[in-house]
Structure 1
Amino acid sequence: MVILLSVIFFFIILRFAVTLFNFVSNPKLRRVTKRYDDKVSILIPARNEAGRILNLLESIAEQEYSNYEVIILDDNSEDHTYELCNDFAASHEKFRVIKGQQLPKGWLGKNYACYQLARLATGKYLLFLDADEEIENGLINSSVHRMHVNNLALLSLFTDQVMVTFGEKVVVPLMHYILLNLLPIRLIYLSKNPAFSAASGQFMMFDAAEYHHRQWHEMVKDKVVEDIEIMRQVKTNRLKGEAILANGMISCRMYNSYNEAIEGFSKNFLAPFNYSIPGFMLYILLLIGGPLIVIATLNLQLIFFMCGIIVLGRTMISFLSGQSDRINTFLHPLQMLSLVVIAVSAIQKQLTKTNTWKGRRV
């Protein structure tokens, strides 16, 4: 039992150390006053986004950066996405919408949509955004500044998450929770090792020259989690990539309900573990089973020590991600239960090859 408890506390303390490193290093996009005018192509793949995409388009039209173009690709939507975007583009000269081609064999839908968009872009930088987001003033200029000063081939931002329903609040915070106590974010940029790779497809800004030369989306055309795979390829090719927190400059409501969030998260939760089911299961067992074993000892000193570390870690992660520390701490047991549900679903989909998203098999 002593050896088991030692392993559990080593795992808990190690994760806390990663969280502390992220908290102290504060990996966020900074607002800058220096003005840039490089042309940015804002590229938006959209499939069945009629209920949300206008919020994004309006937020882009209202921001202060002037030298940009917006291209929206309707990826064979079954709703009124194309009509809504077309009407918006008719009254905004920098916006245009196109219909995507039929999906070729060997490609996944979003990857092919991004590939088509990049071929039409004329900007110095290519900025891929998801259709369910909203941006704030300062985002584009601050991102271009980051690309300049760090000589980046790719900048990715982990967006702030908007959560409305109770179901969202017991699932969506898991994204930042896993990220910020599993990976020292600064090492994505500082380390040349591709093992330190993470990214978010919700915001991917590329140096256009490097993108057109490498064709990143074609390189990962059959990958479910293309964002992480592209960052790995960037680093493998000895280029510079960086992924940091959005610092309130871009937000996204990913899902509208508990079931939708579970379905969405289980689609790609194995990716950070390189799709290793044993490695993923070991992580889940230590993360959730470990604290239960500590509680079962009835040793109050160990229990209080463990709870203190967990609460402090949740507080730091909530601060970094712009979320409520009180809500996340209170809901922590339910979030861990939701993680078990996600894990079971993710493993089942991986083993049976039945992963689907937006009506397509992935």
Structure 2
Amino acid sequence: MIPWLEWFIIAVLPFVALALAALAAGMFVSNLPLFMDGKRSNRSDTPKLNDARLRRVSVLIPARNEESSIEACLESVLQSVHVDLEVIVLDDGSTDQTGTIVREIAQHDSRVKLIEGIELPDGWNGKQHACYRLAQHAACEHLLFLDADVRLKPTAIIDLWNRFTVEHEGGETGLLSAFPQQETGTLAEKLLIPMMHFILLSYLPFARMRGSTHPAYASGCGQLFFTTQAAYQAAGTHAAIRSSRHDGLKLPKAYRENGMLTDCVDGSPWAICRMYTSAGEVVQGLLKNADEGIANSRLLIPFTILLGGANVLPWITLAVAFAKRNSLIAEGLPIPTSVVIGILVSGIAILVSYVPRMTGAIRLRQSVTGAILHPIAIVSFLLIQWWAFWNHLRGRQVTWRGRLG
């Protein structure tokens, strides 16, 4: 190796890696209490089951080929307490038994309604159009947009209502998003699904998010959104993001662009979800909307530096420093202080880089295996982002649930 390059890797880059790892770890640790503050705000005036003041909520569920999950989803919603519900499901051109299952449930529970999807209009994404039509059929002022693979706890909706009413420094919340507890089975799921929490908590300043309506702080989870008809209409409805596949980012941004505050919280006390069931689904799921998130010309290189520098670079600098140490020992030469410091700082950087994932494994009940293999998760995640960017440059779009839209 070129002497100056070797010196740079051993003497300089470990400190860069440590700084980047400390940035992510510090942000994660400071954000976590704010992210997990959902339960603290439960109000004392929660209505009882026979109370005339029961909160009325329209639960809106877009469903396309969800026969494996829709029944469990609906059963969980119908077990909700302290709320008066209507549950509307849109069967978005399913080719399986999704519609049949919903009809059978609707026959036994009048709170459930099924509407049929129509041919997707030009320029619309399927899910956004389904949500748009669902909201048109909603009779209640408060709306809960819910993915069909999410199962709610009985108190979830009333807790979401109470959390939605909390006023922050930036004003009242127009859109609340909750991140359900994510079930993971395969190794790919354990590695990559927790990355949503890792990136959210390591790089989004929650205090600023709740103190400003600036669109730069837009973030959320498309699996679960709670809002009102008035705020939803003021944001332009899902028509404002009609072509997007990334409602988790784009819908909060639409609210913020119209002067409303959005918030996101830990939803694990309220909901559980298994997004994917195989490595192929995980990769395809991450690819489908990556260009609307990180995999674009504005963010891809900065995030490659942030993620790679904090979580992969210290392993490289440690390996180079150890290799230098071993070669010097073999030659009977003294070991320079710079090499010793390089090994020490690289080791510290590695330990610091594990803080977010290990903390997530403990506090957010995420996979310990995935946390241990965190550097592999980072490399895999970045490769998927660059793959998505390359697909975008070539004009290729990933098929999702049997269609491009």
- Per the TM superposition, whether the score is higher than 0.5 is yes
Measure the CA separation in 2 of the matches of 1:270 and 1:291.
Answer: 28
Mean CA deviation greater in 295-304 or 68-77: 295-304
Deviation per residue, 1:246-268 (Å, 9 max, x gap): 13211100000111111101222
Match of 2:246 in 1: 225
Q: Could you give the per-residue CA deviations for residues 46-67 of structure 1, whole angstroms, max 9, x where no partner exists? A: 0010111111001111221331
Matching of residue 64 in structure 1 with residue 73 in structure 2? no
* Residue matched to 1:265: 286
Corresponding residue of 2:362: 319
* Cα 1:263–1:351 shift into 2, 3 Å: same
8 A Cα contact 1:231 1:241, kept in partner: yes
Aligned equivalent of 1:339:
381
* 307 and 6 in structure 1: CA distance in 2 versus 1, 3 angstrom threshold: closer
Q: Which residue of 2 aligns with 1:54?
A: 71
2:187 equivalent in structure 1: 166
| 1:19-168 alignment runs, 5 A limit | 19-30=28-39, 32=42, 33-36=44-47, 37-150=54-167, 151-168=172-189
- Does the C-alpha gap of structure 1 residues 7 and 167 become closer, same or farther in structure 2, counting only changes over 3 Å? closer
Give the Cα separation in 2 of the matches to 1:167 and 1:328.
9
Distance in 2 (CA, whole Å) between partners of 1:219 and 1:11 is 36
For residues 144 and 107 of structure 1, what CA distance do their matches in structure 2 show?
30
> Structure 1, residues 105-128: CA drift from partner, whole Å, max 9, x if none?
011110000000000001121100
Deviations 1:242-290 (A, max 9, x none): 1111132111000001111111012223434383343444445424542
CA-to-partner distance for each residue in 1:129-177, whole Å, 9 max, x for gaps? 0000100022111111122232321101111100122332122122212
Q: How does 1:186-201 map to 2 (within 5 A)?
A: 186-201=207-222
Bigger mean CA deviation after superposition, 227-236 or 25-34:
25-34
1:12 aligns with 2:21: yes
For the 8 Å contact 1:158–1:245, the answer to whether it is kept is yes
Distance 1:248 1:343 in 2: 31
In 2: Cα distance, 1:305 partner to 1:227 partner = 34
Q: Helix, strand or coil: the match of 1:263?
A: helix
Query: How many Å separate the matches in 2 of 1:206 and 1:274?
Result: 29
1:207 has 2:236 as partner: no
* Residue type at the aligned position of 2:23: L
Choose 66-75 or 10-19, whichever is displaced more.
10-19
For 2:357, give the aligned amino acid: R
Contact residue 156 and residue 199 of structure 1 kept, 8 A: yes
User: C-alpha separation between the residues in 2 aligned to 1:100 and 1:289?
Assistant: 46
1:360 maps to a residue whose letter is R
Question: What is the identity, as a one-letter code, of the residue corresponding to 2:66?
Answer: E
Q: 1:340 to 1:147 in 2, by over 3 A?
A: closer
Q: Percent identity?
A: 29
Q: Is the 8 A contact 1:354 1:361 kept in 2?
A: no
Would you say 1:292 and 2:315 are equivalent positions? yes
What amino acid maps onto 1:64 in structure 2?
Answer: V
Q: Which runs of 5+ in 1 are unaligned?
A: none
> Match of 1:301?
344
Contact 2:20 2:306 in 1 (8 A): no
Bigger shift: residues 226-235 or 270-279: 270-279
Distance (Å, rounded) in 1 between the aligned partners of 2:33 and 2:159? 21
SS in 1 for 2:20: helix
Query: Larger Rg: 1 or 2?
Result: 2
Unaligned runs of 5+ in 2: 1-7, 48-53, 323-341
**Aligned position for 1:354:** 396
Aligned residues of 1:152 and 1:207 also touching (Cα < 8 A): no
CA 1:359–1:275: 2 relative to 1, 3 Å = same
User: 1:313 offset after TM fit, Å?
Assistant: 2.4
Note if contact 2:145-2:223 (Cα within 8 Å) is conserved in structure 1: yes
Greater shift, 200-209 or 178-187, is seen at 178-187
Aligned length: 361
Q: Which amino acid aligns with 1:29?
A: G
